[in-house]
Structure formats: C-alpha cells, structure tokens
Amino acid sequence: MRSKTLFARGPMAMALAVLLGASACGGGGYRTQNLTFTEKDTNNFGLAQHSGPPTVALGPHGPEKLVTGDVLSFSNDMLDSSKKKVGEIDATCAVARGGAFDKSVASCIATMSLPGGTLALSLGGAPFSPGTHTGSITGGTGTYAGAGGTFTVQQTSDDRPSTDTFHIQIPKK
C-alpha cells in the first residue's frame, strides 16, 4: 500500500516541480550578461595538508600528491581582452579524492571581484588538470546582486592561462 501511495504522489510532485520551475524562470525577469576573461597566475598559492605539517613535495604546477581533506587556496588576476587587469578571483578548494595533483578531484568556492560588485562561484568534482570545467554562479553583490548562471574555465595546458567565460543571469529590479 505504501508503494502505491508514493507512486501516485510522484507524478503530482513532478508536475508541481515543473510548474514552480517554469514560473521562477519565465516572464523575462532576468537580464543576461556574458563576460570572458583570461586568468593570470599570480603565484599566490597556499596548501593546508589534512595530514598535519607540510610533507608533500611541490612540483612546477602544484603539489605532487594530495590526500582527501587537503585544502588549496589561491588568487589570480582577471584580464580583459586588452590584457588589462579588471578584477581578481580568490578561491579555496577542498580535495575530495586524493592522488597525483592532476588526477585529484576537489570542490571549490570562489569570489570574483569586478568593477561594480562580486560574483560568488562554486565548482565541484573538478580535477586539477587542464581541460574544460563548468561551475555555478551562486550569487553576487552590487551590480551582480542576486546573480545566478554558469561559468566555464578552459585551459589547454599547464603552461597556458585559462580562459574563463561567465553566463550571468541578474534579476531585473
């Protein structure tokens, strides 16, 4: 009897979720903004090892090996298409799956400061290796108050800076 009740409620719950989702997104209540930056490494990097005092060797691109619970923090400059600094990103990443640096997986939170405000960012399940990684814009301040959306970080190699593209949705006031 219990499974029939849950089955009957399932379609109603799904219909309600679709209706609520559509009402939250519809009506043109958001303005969109797309931004693209080059992320310039500042060599401002820190590592807190879960296992106690630092014991890991640092390679040219970061720690050689990480363990679950290690935390990395860094800040980089954000450059516009003319290579002018227009902001910075400050991030902290907690290692969820340890291993070699480029194979380790972490969840990261960050704040990106730009003229007019900040964006709050979240990136989960990303390895510390070149590639394309997509995360969420989870909020903002100032010009970006209430922002949501996604961002993509593209890095072709360890020796090249990443290109970060932000697809921002900001509530109309």
Residue 56, helix vs strand vs coil: coil
Residue 125, domain extent: 29-171
81 within a domain of the structure (yes/no) = yes
4 within a domain of the structure (yes/no) = no
- Residue located via tokens 């990103």: 89
Residues 73, 79: Cα–Cα separation, whole Å? 20
| 129 exposure class (CB count in 10 Å sphere: 0-12, 13-18, 19+) | middle
Out of 8-17, 28-37, 59-68, 111-120, which region has the weakest mean confidence (pLDDT)? 8-17
- pLDDT of 149-165, one tens digit each? 999 999 877 778 899 99
Determine how β-strand 131-140 pairs with β-strand 148-155.
antiparallel
How many Cα neighbours within 13 Å face the side chain of 71? 8
What is the token pair recorded at 81?
Answer: 């298409």
Confidence of residue 129 (pLDDT cuts 50, 70, 90): confident
Structural domains counted in the chain: 1
Residues 166, 153: Cα–Cα separation, whole Å? 9
φ, ψ of residue 11 to 5 degrees: the values are -60, -35
151 within a domain of the structure (yes/no) = yes
Q: What is the value of pTM for the model shown?
A: 0.76
Would you say residue 95 has pLDDT above 50? yes
Contact assessment for residue 98 and residue 65, using Cβ atoms and an 8 Å cutoff: yes
Q: Give mean pLDDT, residues 94-106.
A: 89
Q: Give mean pLDDT, residues 135-156.
A: 95
- Residue 59's domain is classified under what CATH number? 2.40.480.10
23 within a domain of the structure (yes/no) = no
Q: Nearest Cα to 155, choosing from 130, 135, 133, 138?
A: 130
- pLDDT of 45-74, one tens digit each? 888 887 665 666 666 666 778 888 999 999
124 within a domain of the structure (yes/no) = yes
68 within a domain of the structure (yes/no) = yes
Would you say residue 24 has pLDDT above 60? no
Measure the CA dihedral 11/12/16/22, to 10°: 40
Q: Nearest Cα to 168, choosing from 76, 79, 36, 40?
A: 36
Neighbours of 45 (CB within 10 A): 14
Residues 72, 93: Cα–Cα separation, whole Å? 5
What is the token pair recorded at 138?
Answer: 């989870």
